[in-house]
Amino acid sequence: MAKLDFSFENAKKLMDGYYPLYIDGKWMDGSDKEVMDVYCPANQEKISSVACASEKDVDTAVKAAWRAFPAWSKISLTERYNILQQMYARLTARATELGMVESLETGKNMAGNVGEIYFAIDQFPYFASAMRVAEDGISSAADGSKTMAVREPVGVVGAICPWNAPIIMCAWKLAPALAAGNCVVMKPSSFTPAGTMELLKLVADLLPPGVFNVINGKGSKTGQFLMDHPGISKLSFTGSTEIGVQVGLAAAKRLIPATLELGGKSAGIYFADIVPDLLDEALGYAAVMLFMSGQGCALQTRCIVQESIYDMFVDRLAEVFRNYKVGMPWDTSARMGSIAYEAHMNSVLDYIDIGKKEGARLVCGGSRITSGEMGKGFFIEPTLFADVDNGMRIAQEEIFGPVLCVIKFKDEEDAIRIANDSVYGLGGGVMSGDLAKALRVAGAMRTGTVTINNAATHLAGAPFGGFKQSGLGRESYRTTLDHFSEIKTINFKY
């Protein structure tokens, strides 16, 4: 791994000043010449720009993907396996640089973000292997005949990604889509396109033209064109529940499948029996929600604490929050960076005001950081609200910022009721010294992932996705290949 300085200048040098569209194996400007600038949210400096895809460009990309599909879908598993492994090798060799680029455009802490890249690209060897062990079924319906159930690729996948973890989201869609034999047209978030473009540059020549196309542009234009294109045979979307519903409707209108990875308001339940042995660990896990400045879909943003330890827990957690170092993405001593863009920072600050007006007790934080170097960017202090009622808007709506709501519960039943009182169901956690109780509670939580006495770890091979309004389908798991395939029955007589 190359040794590089974590600095703004170095990271900026790793990016291109301008990224054209990538369609049919060629770099090209958008047909209407529209260009969008990319900024670093930590200091508001322009760091790059991208070409925007018009409706015509989206159409060109989808058609190129269909031209590539017959050959790509027929190459041998060994060949596809080798390509995915080579992609992984190239990305691994440049993981540090990818992490730096992504940090610059998202405002995330650079050193921590490099770890995220390794986690992201692990999808390539995982799906390279998973596709080789996936077996088609065969049964004997009647004497002298057999029924085979064979998996076939869906065709061309339209993939739409969010801004909070662009490279993870790209890898989580690209690796299984290619492994299942599909071609892809991907649209990264308009706020954070550069990381995906750098990933693309590293792997582009390993894939035949048209197999992987990347188009940039605003969601309301380029995203909408892609979502509505009649040539798309599956939509794979990660983003807000609001847009996810529109993607689901667009898919329903054309009767194509859609995987929807959407928002969350996950609950971490802290039982009194964590004291004393698990207390320090528990405080650390509660503060994990500050990771990515709280801009993570599955982060446990509701901290539900048993009444007998509530006051002590809030006091101790406030200490952790006050000492949690916020800094520029390239400050290696910092643990939390900035918010991803100005309008989103304002939305988080609005929620902090809403919380105060709703009567929650602001224990620490609550303001934008306006002094020093951070004053140039969009930074918010780690913010802790106590005495939160689960019916308050700050406990029900996804804030997507460094704001933790601490809620009191009486007993096991009460904890489960509060945790499940949400339209979302993505992540969740239980901390308890009683493993039987923790497993019982985990089983009762209506959510896609639950951690027990642990922080969130979503390794390749652990299914990720949501119950309720947190989405449809699962990523990062062997059954994800099924979401990218059609099953065909072939019945034959012999």
190 near ligand NAD, judged by CB under 6 A: yes
110 lies in the binding site for ligand NAD (CB under 6 A):
no
The smaller minimum CB distance to ligand NAD, of residues 251 and 352, is found at: 251
Residues of this chain, 395-424, that bind ligand NAD according to CB under 6 A: 398, 400
Question: Does residue 471 touch ligand NAD according to CB under 6 A?
Answer: yes
Contacts of 373 (CB under 8 A, 6+ apart): 43, 328
Per rule CB under 6 A, is residue 261 in the interface with ligand NAD?
A: yes
CA atoms within 13 A on the CB side of 190: 15
Name every residue whose Cβ is closer than 8 Å to that of residue 142 and which is 6 or more positions away in sequence.
none
Cα distance between residue 268 and residue 275, in whole Å:
16
- 102 in catalytic set: no
CA pair distance 291, 321, nearest whole angstrom: 12
CB of 180 to ligand NAD, least distance (A): 19
Stretch that binds ligand NAD, among 46-54, 110-118, 163-171, 476-484 (CB under 6 A): 163-171
Site for ligand NAD in 279-338 (CB under 6 A): 297
Of 52, 297, 303, 364, the active-site residue reads 297
Total H helices, total E strands in the chain = 17, 22
Nearest alpha carbon to residue 91 among 205, 199, 213, 214 = 199
- Catalytic annotation present for 297: yes
Q: How far is the CB of 223 from ligand NAD (least distance, A)?
A: 2
List residues bridging with 405 in a β-sheet.
302, 385
Distance from C-alpha of 97 to C-alpha of 6, rounded to nearest angstrom: 10
Segment interacting with ligand NAD (CB under 6 A) among 25-33, 84-92, 239-247, 415-423: 239-247
- Give dist(CA 218, CA 145) in Å, integer: 53
For ligand NAD, the closer of residues 235 and 364 by Cβ is 235
Tell me if 447 contacts ligand NAD by CB under 6 A.
no
Q: Does 238 bind ligand NAD (CB under 6 A)?
A: yes
Of 1, 44, 52, nearest to 23 (Cα)?
52
Q: Which is nearer to ligand NAD, 217 or 377 (CB)?
A: 217
**Nearer Cβ to ligand NAD, position 209 or 231?**
231
Q: Counting contacts by CB under 6 A, is residue 161 touching ligand NAD?
A: yes
Which helix or strand (DSSP H or E) is residue 124 part of? helix 123-133
CB of 253 to ligand NAD, least distance (A): 13
| Size of the residue set binding ligand NAD (CB under 6 A) | 29
Q: Which of 97, 105, 261, 381 is catalytic?
A: 261
Q: How far apart are CA 21 and CA 160, in angstroms?
A: 15
- State the Cα angle at 120 between 115 and 121, rounded to 5°: 105
* Residue facing ligand NAD at closest CB distance: 219
CA dihedral 133, 134, 139, 145 (to 10 degrees): -90
Distance CA 81, CA 21 (A): 27
CB closer to ligand NAD out of 240 and 308: 240
239 lies in the binding site for ligand NAD (CB under 6 A):
yes
Residues lying near ligand NAD in the complex (CB under 6 A): 160-165, 187, 189-190, 219-220, 223-224, 227, 238-240, 243, 246, 261-264, 297, 398, 400, 426, 466, 471
Q: Which residues are catalytic?
A: 261, 297
